[in-house]
């Protein structure tokens, strides 16, 4: 029996999608069966002082796990390894698995600092999508990462005709109306304003189209490209535009705020299209899109990062993509393409049943499928970590020497070559 | 006089002092002390009607760039600003929005240059409906005016929140208008009071970083116990929490009279502009004090603070 130390925080992440991801990843491990013994270790933002880190490292070591797997995105494991590594000095080392989240690029220096301890361990980096693999592999010296999507539970998201009816009643929507939904934070990097503008421009005369936005605004801005916002700023930017629209159009754009994840099942069932034009730097996957596809909901997505994973070869029409390119100062989303997709999707709805899309999504992101990938990763031959690449080292060096200047933006506000080197992985 | 045209001109200009390239919230020691002693209350937030605190003002001439300014000051810094700039304020085109509690400080002849502002929430929950109750308090000799008032407040709340989780942020601070710490037992007195009164509730003690890292405040009823109009009149944390779905006890319900204008600040709370309350001005009394003690730096003058407290309780 293989003993696996599952390291994650008992305290839920402040990011709602990450709460779900960690929970579902742990469930995927629990599906592995009797050949594996799982032991959970709480590693949270509260475990940051020397004594607590040392105590945690000792607890893990005492259990002599064959594998230590990090399921969470924070805190960064670098400090923990400072205490863990010496314990394994002359001992056989367990395999280390890191499930990588989208915030990898917020911690280049931590990963670089971790290298010296990791070199002595067999390590696997597990990423959630093809494009995240391209990005992460650029950071690794001759190793390559393994793709395992963040899993979705089939009994949590599925299509139900009754739920659809009830949801549309609660929205006060006629059956022939088309409902477009957006789920996620209302934020600059997810191009929420572009979505509202595009909807307004395409459907200004069409009283049968509605846009429901589920999520609360934030003020994260786009710090990688030098855009910093303060509380309330993005909301006002968004709302100012919305408030100036004609009343008839405003009445078809609905700000629903944040709702608990379990309420989204009805929302997805009631909707006709999910639209996420995100160009967020952290877009490694797209948990909400996976969940929506489990209900058979077709989508209009930016062709950026992990969102590209939601294409299905056997049902290409279920996902329409908006081209993205990296411009001189920011990421550029092809707004005309978004508008065309909105128009076409209204006039040419998906012909295949929702069940067909749901089956394809389950096969690709279901918890059972992910559990099998995890099993293969656990039992695969050990590969000793060969270090991080020169690119990661360069980024880490620049991070520490730019003294408060944005890492990826020049003084003239142009995106630096290093940004394009990293994030070209997220474009086609 | 405040007109809709002026409001719309300010909104469309988006000339907001905190976004100015020369704005620096740590330019002076006082600003740094203010931000450190009262953190996170004075943190900046944005709307087009220019929320600002006068201690951040470099020169009063900067106000000429703005049609409207929404002051977040407490009574001490506001009265200091008035008394030091009374002639120049007269010449400004800027219209000032202040909290209604500061209205007694406005000179009679300037009342047309001032209106008041409030915050309200259309959708609110009652404490009984909340999953959690959040208590926020900064404790210090000059920060809490009357611990007995707090006790009454807690006793009123007790029955409404039986068995609910209490999330408590309590921090010992000093007034930014004091240079030295004062020893105080208030922190422990307050903590004991809370534990005694709410002995049936599970109390979860949080740090400010936990509060600021929480992205969803839906079904949480929030009680801001920092009721100190002398030091500051607009807690950033209330805006942060309201914008994330929390119900703020001190925000009003959305059915007020005399609303000149509404500005949506988030999906869940809005600012409303009202005429200045029609109350007696005490500006002559504070002007008299200034003339009697011309060399006194009013921001640090405890006797002046006591005087102000009488008019802005």
Residues B131 and B227 in one domain: yes
Preceding amide of A75 cis, omega within 30: yes
Any CB–CB contact under 8 A between A248 and chain B? no
What does the pLDDT average to over B130-146? Answer: 83
Q: Is residue A309 part of a domain?
A: yes
> B265 vs A257: CB contact, 8 Å cut-off?
no
> B265 vs A236: CB contact, 8 Å cut-off?
yes
Any CB–CB contact under 8 A between B217 and chain A? no
Any CB–CB contact under 8 A between B125 and chain A? no
Q: Indicate whether A25 pLDDT > 70.
A: yes
Q: In the structure, what pLDDT confidence band is assigned to residue B166 with cuts at 50, 70 and 90?
A: very high
Cβ-Cβ contacts under 8 Å, B235 against chain A: none
Closest CB to A235 among B43, B214, B266? B266
Q: Is residue B201 part of a domain?
A: yes
Q: Is residue B267 part of a domain?
A: no
Distance CA A48, CA A259 (A): 32
Closest CB to B267 among A219, A240, A257? A257
| Non-local CB neighbours of A377 within 8 Å, separated by 6+ positions | A97, A124, A126, A146, A148
Q: Is residue B89 part of a domain?
A: yes
Closest CB to B47 among A16, A236, A255? A236
Distance CA B266, CA B219 (A): 17
Closest CB to A216 among B44, B213, B245? B245
Residues A355 and A383 in one domain: no
Number of residues written out for chain B: 313
| Residue A116 half-sphere exposure toward CB, CA atoms < 13 A | 7
Q: In the structure, what pLDDT confidence band is assigned to residue A402 with cuts at 50, 70 and 90?
A: confident
Of all residues in chain A, what percent carry a pLDDT higher than 90? 82
Record the tokens describing residue A377, joined without a space. Answer: 């990763």
Q: Which has the minimum average pLDDT: A48-52, A402-406, B243-247? A: A402-406
Residues B193 and B109 in one domain: no
Residues A137 and A190 in one domain: no
- Report pLDDT for A190: 96
Q: Is residue A337 part of a domain?
A: yes
* Per-residue model confidence as pLDDT tens digits over A342-392: 999 998 877 778 999 999 999 999 999 999 999 999 999 888 899 999 999
> Which of residues 33 through 62 in chain B touch A, CB cutoff 8 A?
43-48
Residues A17 and A64 in one domain: yes
Record the tokens describing residue A392, joined without a space. Answer: 């990661």
DSSP structural state of residue B45: B
> Distance (Å) from the C-alpha of residue A194 to the closest C-alpha of chain B?
18
Q: Indicate whether A47 pLDDT > 70.
A: no
Q: Is residue A108 part of a domain?
A: yes
Q: Is residue A118 part of a domain?
A: yes
Question: What CATH number corresponds to the domain at position A173?
Answer: 3.40.50.2000
Q: Is residue B99 part of a domain?
A: yes
Question: What CATH number corresponds to the domain at position B153?
Answer: 3.40.309
Residues A250 and A360 in one domain: yes
Q: Is residue B167 part of a domain?
A: yes
- Report pLDDT for B22: 87
Q: CB count, 10 Å around CB of A303?
A: 22
What does the pLDDT average to over A127-154? Answer: 94
Cβ-Cβ contacts under 8 Å, B46 against chain A: 219, 229-233, 236
Closest CB to A231 among B213, B218, B243? B243
- What ipTM, to 2 d.p.? 0.94
Asked if B256 and A245 count as a contact pair (C-beta separation under 8 A), the reply is no
A413: left (phi over 0), alpha (psi -120 to 50) or beta: left
* Per-residue model confidence as pLDDT tens digits over B264-278: 999 999 999 999 999
Residues A116 and A176 in one domain: no
- Report pLDDT for A323: 98
Residues A230 and A142 in one domain: no
Residues B29 and B89 in one domain: yes
Cβ-Cβ contacts under 8 Å, B47 against chain A: 232, 236
Residues B15 and B111 in one domain: yes
Q: Is residue B181 part of a domain?
A: yes
Find the closest chain B residue to A242 by CA distance: B264
- Report pLDDT for B75: 94
Distance CA B98, CA B52 (A): 10
Number of domains in chain B: 2
Q: In the structure, what pLDDT confidence band is assigned to residue A181 with cuts at 50, 70 and 90?
A: very high
Asked if A122 and A146 count as a contact pair (C-beta separation under 8 A), the reply is no
> A258 vs B244: CB contact, 8 Å cut-off?
yes
Q: Higher pLDDT residue, A315 or A337?
A: A337
Q: Indicate whether A17 pLDDT > 90.
A: no
> A235 vs B213: CB contact, 8 Å cut-off?
no
> Which of residues 13 through 52 in chain A touch B, CB cutoff 8 A?
14-16
> A232 vs B48: CB contact, 8 Å cut-off?
no
Instruction: Tell me which residue range forms the domain holding A60.
Output: 2-151+369-422
Record the tokens describing residue A245, joined without a space. Answer: 């629209």
Residues A98 and A219 in one domain: no
Distance CA B157, CA B135 (A): 11
Q: Look over chain B and give the mean of its residue pLDDT values, rounded to a whole number.
A: 90
Residues B94 and B109 in one domain: yes
Residues A169 and A300 in one domain: yes
Q: Which of A340, A365, A390 is the last residue of a domain?
A: A365
Of all residues in chain B, what percent carry a pLDDT higher than 70? 98
Any CB–CB contact under 8 A between B15 and chain A? no
Residues B50 and B85 in one domain: yes
Q: Is residue A427 part of a domain?
A: no
Residues B188 and B284 in one domain: no
3-state secondary structure chain A: CEEEEEEECCCCCCCHHHHHHHHHHHHHHHCCCCCEEEEEEECCCCCCCHHHHHHHHHHHHHCCCCEEEECCCCCCCHHHHHHHHHHCCCCCCCEEEEECCHHHHHCHHHHHHHHHHHCCCEEEEEECCHHHHHHHHCCECCCCCEECCCCECCCCCCCCHHHHHHHHHHHCCCCCCEEEEEECCECHHHCHHHHHHHHHHHHCCCCCEEEEEECCECCCCEHHHCECCCECHHHHHHHHHHHCCCHHHHCCEEEEECCCHHHHHHHHHHCCEEEECCCCCCCCCCHHHHHHHHCCCCEEEECCHHHHHHCCHHHHHHEEEECEEECCCCEEECHHHHHHHHHHHHHCCCCCCHHHHHHHHHHHHEHHHHHHHHHHHHHCCCCECCCECHHHHHHHHHHHHCCCCCCCECCCCCECHHHHHHHHHHCC
Residues A43 and A74 in one domain: yes
Burial call B30-52: b when 16+ CB within 10 Å, e when fewer: ebebbbebbebbbbbbbbbbbbb
Q: Look over chain A and give the mean of its residue pLDDT values, rounded to a whole number.
A: 93
Residues A171 and A259 in one domain: yes
Q: Is residue A193 part of a domain?
A: yes
Residues B104 and B192 in one domain: no
Asked if B273 and B116 count as a contact pair (C-beta separation under 8 A), the reply is yes
Residues B137 and B114 in one domain: no
Asked if A184 and A190 count as a contact pair (C-beta separation under 8 A), the reply is yes
Q: CB count, 10 Å around CB of B60?
A: 16
Cβ-Cβ contacts under 8 Å, B215 against chain A: 14-16, 216, 218
Q: Is residue B169 part of a domain?
A: yes
Q: Higher pLDDT residue, A399 or B47?
A: B47
* Per-residue model confidence as pLDDT tens digits over B92-111: 999 999 999 999 999 999 99
Residues A147 and A199 in one domain: no
Give how far Cα A113 sits from Cα of A50, A55, A80, A97, B211, Å.
17, 21, 12, 17, 29
What does the pLDDT average to over A62-78? Answer: 94
Q: Are strands B270-274 and B261-264 parallel, antiparallel or unpaired?
A: antiparallel
- Report pLDDT for A90: 84
Q: In the structure, what pLDDT confidence band is assigned to residue B254 with cuts at 50, 70 and 90?
A: low
Closest CB to A258 among B46, B213, B245? B245
Closest CB to A216 among B44, B265, B267? B267
Of all residues in chain B, what percent carry a pLDDT higher than 90? 64
Residues B229 and B278 in one domain: no
Q: Is residue A156 part of a domain?
A: no
Instruction: Tell me which residue range forms the domain holding B154.
Output: 127-251
Q: What pTM, to 2 d.p., does this model score?
A: 0.94
Residues A377 and A315 in one domain: no
Any CB–CB contact under 8 A between B219 and chain A? no
Number of domains in chain A: 2
Q: Which of A317, A348, A365 is the last residue of a domain?
A: A365
Q: Is residue B61 part of a domain?
A: yes
Phi then psi for residue B272, to 5 deg, are: -125, 145
Residues B206 and B306 in one domain: no
Residues B14 and B100 in one domain: yes
Any CB–CB contact under 8 A between A230 and chain B? yes
Any CB–CB contact under 8 A between A255 and chain B? yes
């Amino acid at each position: 029996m293989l003993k696996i130390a599952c390291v994650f925080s008992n305290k839920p992440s402040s990011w709602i999608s990450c709460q779900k991801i960690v929970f579902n990843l742990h469930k995927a491990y629990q599906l592995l069966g009797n050949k594996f013994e799982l032991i959970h270790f709480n590693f949270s933002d509260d475990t940051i002082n020397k004594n607590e880190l040392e105590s945690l490292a000792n607890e893990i070591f005492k259990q002599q796990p064959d594998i230590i797997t990090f399921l969470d995105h924070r805190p960064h494991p670098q400090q923990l390894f400072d205490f863990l590594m010496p314990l394994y000095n002359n001992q056989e080392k367990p395999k280390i698995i890191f499930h990588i989240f989208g915030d990898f690029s917020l911690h280049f220096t931590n990963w670089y600092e971790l290298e010296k301890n990791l070199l002595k361990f067999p390590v696997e980096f597990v990423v959630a999508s093809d494009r995240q693999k391209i990005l992460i592999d650029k950071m690794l010296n001759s190793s390559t990462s393994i793709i395992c999507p963040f899993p979705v539970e089939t009994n949590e998201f599925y299509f139900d005709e009754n739920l659809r009816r009830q949801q549309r009643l609660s929205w006060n929507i006629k059956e022939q109306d088309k409902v477009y939904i957006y789920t996620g934070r209302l934020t600059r990097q997810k191009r929420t304003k572009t979505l509202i503008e595009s909807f307004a421009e395409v459907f200004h005369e069409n009283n049968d189209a509605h846009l429901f936005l589920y999520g609360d605004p934030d003020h994260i801005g786009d710090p990688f490209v030098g855009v910093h916002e303060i509380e309330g700023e993005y909301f006002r930017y968004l709302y100012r535009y919305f408030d100036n629209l004609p009343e008839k159009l405003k009445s078809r754009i609905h700000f629903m705020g944040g709702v608990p994840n379990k309420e989204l099942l009805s929302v997805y069932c009631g909707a006709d299209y999910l639209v996420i034009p995100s160009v967020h730097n952290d877009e490694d996957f797209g948990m909400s899109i996976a969940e929506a596809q489990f209900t058979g909901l077709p989508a209009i997505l930016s062709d950026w990062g992990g969102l590209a994973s939601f294409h299905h070869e056997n049902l290409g029409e279920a996902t329409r993509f908006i081209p993205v390119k990296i411009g001189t100062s920011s990421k550029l989303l092809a707004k005309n393409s978004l508008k065309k997709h909105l128009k076409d999707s209204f006039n040419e709805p998906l012909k295949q049943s929702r069940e067909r899309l749901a089956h394809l999504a389950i096969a690709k992101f279901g918890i059972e499928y992910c559990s099998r990938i995890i099993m293969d990763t656990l039992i695969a031959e050990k590969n000793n970590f060969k270090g991080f690449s020169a690119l990661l080292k360069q980024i880490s060096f620049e991070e520490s020497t730019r003294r408060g200047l944005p890492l990826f933006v020049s003084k003239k506000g142009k995106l630096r070559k290093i940004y394009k080197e990293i994030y070209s992985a997220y474009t086609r | 006089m405040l007109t809709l045209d002026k409001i719309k001109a300010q909104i469309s200009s988006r000339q907001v002092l905190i976004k100015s390239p020369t704005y620096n919230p740590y330019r002076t020691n006082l600003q740094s002390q203010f931000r450190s002693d009262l953190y996170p209350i004075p943190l900046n937030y944005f709307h087009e009607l220019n929320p600002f605190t006068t201690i951040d003002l470099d020169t009063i001439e900067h106000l000429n760039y703005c049609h409207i300014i929404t002051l977040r000051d407490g009574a001490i810094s506001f009265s200091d600003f008035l008394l030091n700039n009374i002639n120049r304020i007269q010449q400004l085109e800027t219209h000032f929005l202040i909290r209604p509690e500061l209205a007694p400080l406005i000179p009679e002849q300037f009342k047309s240059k001032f209106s008041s502002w409030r915050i309200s929430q259309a959708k609110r929950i009652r404490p009984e409906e909340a999953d959690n109750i959040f208590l926020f308090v900064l404790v210090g000799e000059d920060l809490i005016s009357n611990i007995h008032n707090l006790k009454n407040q807690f006793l009123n709340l007790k029955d409404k929140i039986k068995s609910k989780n209490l999330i408590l942020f309590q921090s010992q601070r000093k007034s930014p208008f004091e240079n030295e710490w004062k020893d105080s037992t208030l922190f422990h007195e307050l903590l004991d009071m809370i534990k005694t009164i709410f002995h049936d509730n599970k109390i979860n003690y949080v740090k400010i970083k936990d509060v600021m890292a929480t992205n969803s405040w839906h079904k949480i009823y929030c009680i801001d116990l920092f009721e100190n109009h002398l030091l500051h009149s607009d807690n950033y944390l209330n805006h942060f929490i309201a914008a994330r779905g929390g119900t703020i006890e001190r925000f009003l319900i959305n059915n007020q009279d005399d609303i000149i204008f509404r500005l949506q600040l988030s999906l869940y709370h809005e600012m409303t502009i009202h005429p200045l309350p029609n109350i007696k001005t005490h500006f002559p009394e504070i002007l008299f004090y200034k003339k009697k003690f011309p060399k006194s730096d009013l921001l640090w003058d405890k006797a002046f603070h006591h005087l102000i407290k009488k008019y802005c309780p």
